[in-house]
Amino acid sequence: MDRAELVAFVRQHRVCVVSTVSSVGWPQSAVVGHAISDEAELVFDSVATTRKVANVRREPRVSVVVGSDEQTLQIDGLADEPTGVDLARLKKTYLATYPDGAAREPAVTYVRVRAVWARFSDYRNGEAITVIAPSELPASEEPVFGRTIPILRIYDYEKMRAHYVDFLGFRIDWEHRFEPGGPVYMQVSREGCVLQLSEHFGDGTPGSKLKVPTRGLDALQQRLLAQRYRHSRPGILEQTWDEREMAIADPFGNVLTFFETIPKK
């Protein structure tokens, strides 16, 4: 499938499913009416206060599914809100498909998705899956930053395990030592939170502080308190900047502050 065929397939369908990423790493999907430019830029409109718009302003990586029955197009791409000549051009493309969209202005914003990866599946005559060549996609060479992974200094493996694994519920992804008995460099994770921990001198500064967006802060607090961990009895503070926070220090002076945003009234 080349770019022209991709565009033609998308234009056969008036709606698609767009999946964005929430502030705490949860996927959130919505059905939207879309249009697509000749350059394979997918565009849709949305009220600016929706979850998906808030999500793409913070995290531009999105996933889109177009199609029905036995033919589908899956797209991973970068979303943005175009401005200037790009906005004018894409609005014209969108309004040609949805003329009633003009009546929704100025309450809406326009979101563009440029594909970095795409796959077409056709099951009408058996299984046929085609990964579309990057040269056919509008953003395949676009530089994209991934998530930040902090490095925290630790001194004692057993204390680390008792705190991060047994108490907080992280899993150990991997460990590395240059030789048996040497200092460890390792990674732990839980849901969307990834940390690297190091016993090496110079890797991280003792007393570092991190903030971890968290869904279900009260439930997390109750589960931690139920463990009766002798080194921590975490409480929740409601801050004046519309966040509820639960700070927990590890045995090495590093502090993880789990927080959730207080919805505006």
**Same CATH fold, 151-261 and 3-136?**
no
Which residue shows structure tokens 């698609």? 16
- Boundaries of every domain in the chain: 3-136, 151-261
Supply the pLDDT for residue 264: 75
The string of DSSP letters for 23-92 reads TTS-EEEEEEE-EE-TT-EEEEEEETTSHHHHHHHH--EEEEEEEETTEEEEEEEEEE---HHHHHHHHH
Blockwise average pLDDT, block size 10, the chain, 265 residues: 92 96 90 96 95 94 92 94 95 95 91 94 84 84 82 96 97 96 96 94 90 94 95 95 96 96 80
CA separation for the pair 163, 11 (Å, rounded): 53
- Tell me the CATH class for 151-261: alpha beta
Supply the pLDDT for residue 15: 96
Supply the pLDDT for residue 41: 95
Supply the pLDDT for residue 1: 86
The total of other beta-carbon atoms located within 10 Å of residue 143's CB is 5
Chain length of the chain: 265
| C-alpha of 199 from chain center | 30
CATH superfamily of 3-136: Electron Transport, Fmn-binding Protein; Chain A (2.30.110.10)
Q: Let me know: does 158 contact 152? Beta carbons within 8 Å.
A: no
Supply the pLDDT for residue 140: 67
Supply the pLDDT for residue 192: 85
Supply the pLDDT for residue 31: 97
Task: Name the pTM for this structure.
Answer: 0.73
Q: Let me know: does 207 contact 154? Beta carbons within 8 Å.
A: no
Give the β-pairing of 193-198 and 185-190. antiparallel
Supply the pLDDT for residue 134: 87
